[in-house]
Chains A and B, each alone.
With several copies, the nearest count.
Chain A
Amino acid sequence: MQVRYFAWLRERVGTAAEEIEPGDAATAGDLVDALIARGERYALAFEDLSAVRVAVDQEMGDLDTPISGAREVAFFPPVTGG
């Protein structure tokens, strides 16, 4: 599964995208838990989950959104375009 990061989440994690094996992560929130377990950078990126938004296969979701079968999950701060 492709995991993508944007804005300060990208900067904290240190990469824009990476291939992650989701294991038994059923939701985006489960995936966050698995990522945090990978180390410091992830823990810092996800330290305030209220500031983290999720898209699953390029559709807005949240931490409860199922990710089984998803090709791409993205994490980013609240959007600030326009």
Chain B
Amino acid sequence: MDAPTSTTVSVQTEDFDISAEVERITSANREIGAVVTFTGLVREITGEGPITAMELEHYPGMTERSLREIVEQARTRWPLDAVRLVHRFGKLAPGDRIVLVIAASRHREAAFGAATFLMDYLKTRAPFWKKEHGVEGPVWVDARESDQQIAARWGRSGL
């Protein structure tokens, strides 16, 4: 599939700017009518109590590969003008941005559908692991069973 230049996946320690990322996509394509963004943030209070930091580990190489596959899956399901995925790793603090998903299309149904799908797949397929530093010391975050159930609504895929 011809991936337009606006499709980009980034795995980085640096923060991102939502407006700048959206602008980069929309300034290049005046046919976009709908842009949906998802931003995931480090929550200060979790099920285990307050946390002081979060560490994100990932699998270099496989991460980028799985994110690109997730984007290609979305492109086969919705007519998208642009997709952007940014996922941070390393040490983050409460309130810090973790992940950014952008889906842009002519109409909102595709943009909403794709952004939801991208997050569902990312949550269950992309090789990232979170460790929270709280009052009881560092704890690896458990995967949410509900994330698996949510992702199942999109059916089995070859990912």
Direct A–B touching in the complex (beta carbon < 8 Å)? yes
Interface, chain A (partner B; CB < 8 A)? 4, 6-8, 10, 55, 58-60, 74, 76-82
| Cβ–Cβ < 8 Å partners of B98 in chain A | 81-82
B127 and A6 contacting across the interface, CB-CB below 8 Å = yes
Restricting to B93-128, which residues have a CB under 8 Å from any CB of A?
98-99, 108, 119, 122-128
**What's the Cα separation between A81 and B99 when bound, in Å?**
8
Report B27-63 CB contacts with A as 1/0, cut-off 8 Å: 0000000000000100000000000000011110110
Interface, chain B (partner A; CB < 8 A)? 40, 56-59, 61-62, 65-66, 87, 98-99, 108, 119, 122-131, 140-143, 159
A8 and B128 contacting across the interface, CB-CB below 8 Å = no
**What's the Cα separation between A80 and B126 when bound, in Å?**
8
**Chain B nearest CB, measured from A48 CB (Å):** 12
| Partner of B58 from A55, A59, A81 at Cβ < 8 Å | A81
B59 and A81 contacting across the interface, CB-CB below 8 Å = no
